[in-house]
Amino acid sequence: MTQKNSSLILIFLFFAFGVAGQWAPQSNFPGGSRDDGYGVGVNEIIYVGGGRGADFGFRSDFWKFNGVDWARLKDSPFTARQYAQMAAFGDSVWVAGGLQQSEYFSDVWLYRPSLDQWSFHSHLPHPVRQGVLFAPNGELVVGLGEKAPDMLSDSLYIFRDGEWHPLTPVPNGGRFRCGYFSVGQRLYLGWGRDSSGVHFNDWQVYDLLSGEWDTLSPPPGAPREWCSSTSNFNGSGVVGFGMDSAGDFLKDVFYFNPILNSFQKIDEYSTLLRGAVLAGSDEELHLITGLSGDFDRLDIHEIYTRAGSENERLLIFPNPARNYVHIRYLPAISSNWKITDVNGKIVQEKQCKSGSCEFSLLGIQSGMYFISNGTLTTKLLIN
């Protein structure tokens, strides 16, 4: 066995064991029963809001979970809604689009957790209901979804220099109610349905550095719409639940392994769900509210805790790499990382925070390099 293959297998073992775990019920969500809300994890804090309650009323309340207790924050200043999109990066949380009754929304709002403060951000090029919203390295990317009754978008837009700019359209046409997440500068999206009700079983990957689309094998589950997803669990994305082409609700959940470039099924949840909130942190995956297979709106809160390996300290992917490399490390503290060549010359240096970091490799010659923070070191092959 070559040294290269040995390294890949070793990393796989650390990563694969790192997502094993189980669901554990928590105290019920104090905001009450609802579905089709929005939520996200920020530095181990979970934020949840919006949706439609058991009384069919639209919600504008906003909550945070600090790992022990729930606390109600300032209500969102925009019109109460369901089907909105939420994403986060650093001390920024964004909510975009959504729907109330027959009114489609195109507004984007920014929430600052450190200030408990909302502010208006921008208007999207068109309304977005049940589309996608990413925040890779703090840059907003939004699109797809329903922009008017039976009118779906195949467009993605990125917010730069105070304006929304179009990206290359998503392959295979417009869709909504799809799954999506980001890992570094790569955007992943798939499943969903078209305007005639046909379900997609493809997954597409957009590289923000190259501007190119690629395909990905779908998770080993039924094609679906109305699925739940998050970007922030164990350094990658999770997608699951939803409704299949027969109208049946689903309870399977899948983790994307960025090293193997494929999905792994994690512990199946006990209840069929649609319109649930999934919000991730490094160690935990939170499931909050949703619509059950009996069409009951729920106030559940469950946590899937991964059983991490004591040896799991440093992960890099992809390796070999071309345009970028992403690293995850423990302990998750601020740390200075360097890429050096075989002669010890520093070719890149970066201060990384919260156990995660990404390096652009554009302009670096092919060859063998090392990534190190002085304590942890591993080889990197750039091709």
Q: What are the domain boundaries of the chain?
A: 21-306, 314-382
Whose CA is closest to 97, among 79, 84, 81? 84
Q: If DSSP codes are grouped into helix, strand and coil, which group holds residue 136?
A: helix
pLDDT at 14: 38
The span from the CA of 383 to the CA of 376, in Å, is 23
Whose CA is closest to 130, among 228, 59, 216? 228
Whose CA is closest to 381, among 373, 370, 372? 370
| 362 token code pair | 């554009």
The span from the CA of 284 to the CA of 230, in Å, is 12
Task: Report residues of the chain scoring pLDDT below 70.
Answer: 1-20, 282, 306-313, 330-332, 354
The span from the CA of 306 to the CA of 284, in Å, is 6
pLDDT at 310: 39
* Signed CA dihedral, 229, 271, 72, 74: sign only: positive
172 vs 149, 202, 210, 215, 263, CA distance in Å? 20, 9, 20, 11, 21
372 vs 7, 311, 329, CA distance in Å? 16, 17, 11
pLDDT at 331: 66
> Beta strands 117-123 and 103-112: pairing type?
antiparallel
pLDDT at 101: 94
Topology, domain 314-382: Immunoglobulin-like (2.60.40)
The span from the CA of 320 to the CA of 8, in Å, is 10
Provide CATH code, domain 21-306.
2.120.10.80
pLDDT at 37: 97
pLDDT at 8: 38
pLDDT at 286: 95
pLDDT at 171: 94
| 127 token code pair | 């309304």
Question: Do residues 289 and 251 lie in contact, with contact meaning Cβ atoms separated by under 8 Å?
Answer: no
The span from the CA of 178 to the CA of 294, in Å, is 22
Strands of the sheet containing 346-352, edge to edge, are 346-352, 335-341, 367-372, 377-382
